[in-house]
Amino acid sequence: MDENKEKELLEGDVEKNDTLTEQEKDEVSEILENLKKSKSDSENQVVTDWDGLAQVGNTDEDIVAEETVKKEENAETDEEDEEDISDAIEDELCINCGKRKRYTELDEDYPYCKSCREKMKKTRMNAWGVLNLLFIIAMAFVAVVWGAYAAGVAIPVIKGDKYMREGNYYSALACYQEAVSSVESLNSETTGTEADFDAGNRTYARIIKAYYNIGSLVSAQDYVSVLKEAGALEMPRYADMKKYSDVLSGMADTCTAIQTKYQNLFMELNYATEKKDISDIRKELAEIDKFKADKKYNKYAVAYMQVYLCQYVENSEAEQIKYLLELKEGGKDYEAIWASQLCMLYLDEGKFDEVEKICNDIIKASPESVEFYQYLMKIQIKKNNPEKALEIYKKAETTVNGIYYSTEPLSMPYTLLTEKAVCHALMGDKEEALNAIEESFGLNLDIHSANIYALLHYEYHVKGTKPSEKDGEKVYDSKDNGYDIVMGIFESNGISVNEDVKAAMEGKKTLEDVLVKGEAYLK
Amino acid sequence: MRYINAIIKILTFPGSLLKGFWEQLLCKFFGVPVENKKYLQFNEMAGHVEHEPVSGNKSFWFCFVSGFMVFITGLIFAVPAFLNICFLDVTSSTLKIVSLICLYMAVAMFTNLFPSIEDALMMWEKYKEMGKSAKIIFAPGAAIMYVGAYAENMGITFLTNAALAAAMLLL
C-alpha cells in the first residue's frame, strides 16, 4: 500500500470502528493467545543445562560480567520478539483499523477487515471530482449555447456544400448567403457595440468559390476584401482565395492604369453626339495591345478594356469577338465577362454552332446557369423553330424550380420570359405571348424586352384600332394601356424604338421578319 | 512512462478528474470498495480511482460506461470547437476564445477515455470467459478499451488528440 493511501486511511477517510463485536473480540484474543503461547515455548527451549556447564571454572567476577552481558542480550532478544509479535499481529489485523482480523476469505493477502471493506464501498465522492463535474456542467452549457449558434450558421453552409458537390452553384450560393444573413440578423438582435458572431472566413471563401464556379468571380470582390482585411489570405488554407484575389486586384489595377492613360478618349467616346467608327480608335487599340506584353499588367484585363472601348463605336463586332476570344483563354476567371457577350455577338453573326457549344459547355459545368438557356432558345427562334425553343424554355423552367432559394421561390429570368413571349407570338398564341411579356415586364426591362413588349402590344391591342382620348391625351392601347406605357418609357429615356419594330408597326414588316430574320437583340 | 502518463493527466485535468469521478460513481453503483479516491496522483493510477477488481461482466460495463460518459462530454465540447474553428473559421475574438476553450476541453476529455491497465486486464480476462455470441457482440468495445488503455498509458491518445487539434487550428 502506498503512502498516500495509508495517509488517507489514517486520516479517517475510511472511518475506524472502535466497537468490536463479541466474535471479533474472540478472534483478536485468539490471535494474541496463540502469539503468547508460541513466545513462551521458544523461551523454554532456550534455557538448557548447557548454560550451567558453561560457567564451570569461571571466577565470580567473570560470572557477574557474563550474566550482565547475558541480561543485555536477553533484553535485546525480548525487544526483537516484541517487534516480531507486533509484526505478526499487524499481518493478521486489518491495516486500516488495526483491530479486526483481515477478511481473508476473499483473498489470502486481503489487507482489510470485513467492516472496513463495507465502509470502503460507501466512500464519499472526491470533492475535486464533484467540483470538476460542476465546472464541466457549466462549461458544457456554454458550449451547447455557442454550439447552437454555430450550428445555426453551419447548417445552411453544410447544405450549400452538398449543392456545390452536385455542381448546383446557384443553390449553394443561396445557402451560403442564408448563413451570412442569419449571422447578420443575430448581430442585429444583440445589444453589444461589437458584432460577436460572424459567418467565418471559410463561409466567405465558399461564397467566393461558388461565384468562381458560376463564372462570376468579379461579383465576389466584396467577400475577397473581407478575407483580405482579416489577413486570412496569407494562410495556407486560403491559397485558392489568394489566387482569386490576385486575379481581381490585377484586373482592377490594369483597368485603372488604362483608364487613367486614356481618360480623354473615354470622355470623348462617352459624350460624343455621334457614334464613332472602329477606324477612329484603331490606333489606340493597337497601343493598348502593347500592354499585354508587359508582365506588370493583366493581359486579360487589357483585352477587357479593348472590348469596353469597342462597345462605344460602330462596326466593332469583329474586334469585340477577337478580344473576347482572348478573354475566353483566361477560362472561368473571366467567364462573366466574355461568355454572354460572345454569345450575343455570335448570334448576330449567325454562328449558332459556336453559341451552342459555349452554352452547352457552361450548362454542363454549372447546370443552374439558366441565363444561357436564352441563347439556346434564340438559336431555335432564329431557325424559326419556336416549338423547340419552348422545349428549351421548359428545361430552363425545371432548372429554375430546382434552384434553392431561402425566402421565396425563384422566378424565371425576365430574359427567358421575353423569349417565351416571342415563341408564342410566332406560334400565334396571342394570350400566352401577352402573359409572358407582361410577366417579363413586371420583373425587369431592357431595350430588347421593351421593343418586344411594344411590338406585341401594338400587334394585339393597337393594330386596327383607333386611338381614344383621355385627359386630352391620345390613348392607343385601349385594352391595358401597355403600348402607351412602354412608348412613354422610351420617350422619357430618350431612346427610340427599334427600326425593325417601327417598320412592323408601319406594316412594312411582319412579326416573323422582326423576330426571326431581324437582329437577335433589338437595339 | 508513469511520469509521462501523470503529467498528461495533470495537463488534461478536467478529463482525468471527470474520468475518476465516473469510475468512483460506478464503484458505488457496482458495490466495489474504493481503496484510494485520489484521482490525480503522480503514478500510473493518475486519472483513475484505486479500487478492488470488478467482478464478472460488470468489469466490461465499468470500463465502458466511464469512458463513454467522458466521450459524450468530449463531443459536447468538440462540436462547437470544430464548427467555429475548422468549419467556419470565425474571426470574432469572443467566439475564438470560447472555441479554443472548448477545443482544450475536448482534447482533455478524449485523452481520458480508456480504463487503467489493471481494469483493462481484468476486463479482458472476463471477456475471454464470455460465451461465443457475447464475445462477438462485445469484441469491438473490449478490443478498443484494451488497446486504448495501453495507448493512453503511453501518451499516444494525448499525442493523437493534440495533433488533431493542431491540424484543426493550422490547416
Mean pLDDT on A473-487:
85
Name the domain count of chain B: 1
Distance CA A261, CA A255 (A): 10
Q: Please check whether residue B155 touches A, CB under 8 A.
A: no
Mean pLDDT on A374-384:
94
Return the pLDDT at A271: 83
Residue B20: closest CA among chain A residues belongs to which residue?
A129
Q: Is B167 helix (H, G, I), strand (E, B) or coil?
A: helix
- For the cut 90, the answer to whether the pLDDT of residue A172 exceeds it is yes
pLDDT in tens, A212-240: 988 888 888 889 998 998 888 888 889 88
Interchain pair A197, B92: CB under 8 A: yes
A126 CA to chain B: closest CA distance, Å?
A: 6
Closest Cβ opposite residue A5 in set B18, B36, B83? B36
Interchain pair A139, B41: CB under 8 A: no
B136 CA to chain A: closest CA distance, Å?
A: 32
- For the cut 80, the answer to whether the pLDDT of residue A33 exceeds it is no
Q: Which grid coordinates belong to A119?
A: 465502509
Interchain pair B34, A120: CB under 8 A: yes
Interchain pair B37, A195: CB under 8 A: no
* pLDDT tier for residue A86 given thresholds of 50, 70 and 90: low
Q: Which residue has the higher pLDDT, A216 or A72?
A: A216
- For the cut 90, the answer to whether the pLDDT of residue A266 exceeds it is no
B37 CA to chain A: closest CA distance, Å?
A: 6
> Which stretch of DSSP H or E encloses residue A449?
helix A447-457
Closest Cβ opposite residue B88 in set A118, A124, A202? A202
Distance CA A410, CA A399 (A): 10
- For the cut 90, the answer to whether the pLDDT of residue A361 exceeds it is yes
Return the pLDDT at A191: 60
Q: Which CATH number fits the domain A385-523, given the four candidates 3.90.320, 1.25.40, 1.10.1740, 2.10.25?
A: 1.25.40
Return the pLDDT at A11: 44
Closest Cβ opposite residue B73 in set A120, A136, A200? A136
Return the pLDDT at B91: 87
Q: Which of A74-83, A95-104, A503-512, B70-79 has the lowest mean pLDDT?
A: A74-83
Q: Is A468 helix (H, G, I), strand (E, B) or coil?
A: strand
Return the pLDDT at B21: 94
* pLDDT tier for residue A78 given thresholds of 50, 70 and 90: low
Return the pLDDT at A390: 95
- For the cut 60, the answer to whether the pLDDT of residue A54 exceeds it is no
Distance CA A416, CA A426 (A): 15
Q: What pTM was computed for the model?
A: 0.75
Interchain pair A202, B87: CB under 8 A: yes
- Counting one residue from chain A and one from chain B, the pairs whose CB atoms sit within 8 A come to 148
Distance CA B88, CA B82 (A): 8
Closest Cβ opposite residue B89 in set A5, A195, A200? A200
Q: Which of A41-45, A329-333, B105-109 has the lowest mean pLDDT?
A: A41-45
Which single residue is written with the C-alpha cell 433589338? Answer: A522
- Ranges in chain A annotated CATH 1.25.40.10: 130-238
A217 CA to chain B: closest CA distance, Å?
A: 21
Closest Cβ opposite residue B38 in set A4, A125, A144? A4
A191 CA to chain B: closest CA distance, Å?
A: 15
Residue A123: closest CA among chain B residues belongs to which residue?
B34
Burial annotation A241-256 (CB, 10 A radius, 16+ → b, else e): bbebbebbebbeebbe
- For the cut 50, the answer to whether the pLDDT of residue A48 exceeds it is no
- For B118, the domain range is 2-170
Interchain pair B34, A196: CB under 8 A: no
Which single residue is written with the C-alpha cell 483499523? Answer: A97
Interchain pair B38, A8: CB under 8 A: yes
Return the pLDDT at B123: 92
Residue A4: closest CA among chain B residues belongs to which residue?
B36
Q: Please check whether residue B33 touches A, CB under 8 A.
A: yes
* pLDDT tier for residue A2 given thresholds of 50, 70 and 90: very low
Return the pLDDT at A112: 85
Residue A192: closest CA among chain B residues belongs to which residue?
B94
**CB < 8 Å to B43, chain A:** 2
Interchain pair A142, B98: CB under 8 A: yes
Residues of chain B with pLDDT below 50 are none
Q: Is A470 helix (H, G, I), strand (E, B) or coil?
A: strand
Class of domain A130-238 (CATH, top level): mainly alpha
- Report which of A408, A375, A406, A404 is spatially closest to residue A392, judged by C-alpha positions: A375
- Distances A1 to A7, A96, A393, B44 between C-alpha atoms, Å: 10, 11, 86, 14
Query: Which residues neighbour A251 within 8 Å (Cβ) at sequence distance 6 or greater?
Result: A218, A298, A300, A301, A304
Distance CA A192, CA A198 (A): 14
Return the pLDDT at A43: 54
B49-53 CB contacts, 8 Å cutoff, 24+ apart: B49/A126, B49/B20, B49/B23, B49/B24, B50/A5, B51/B23, B51/B24, B51/B27, B53/B118, B53/B122
Interchain pair A126, B39: CB under 8 A: yes
Residue A117: closest CA among chain B residues belongs to which residue?
B33
Interchain pair B90, A198: CB under 8 A: yes
**DSSP-assigned beta bridge partners for residue A468:** A475
Residue A146: closest CA among chain B residues belongs to which residue?
B80
- Mean pLDDT value across chain A: 84
Return the pLDDT at A240: 87
pLDDT in tens, A432-478: 999 999 999 999 988 999 999 999 999 998 888 888 877 777 888 88
Residue B50: closest CA among chain A residues belongs to which residue?
A5
Closest Cβ opposite residue B33 in set A120, A129, A202? A120
Closest Cβ opposite residue B18 in set A133, A157, A232? A133
Distance CA A308, CA A14 (A): 90
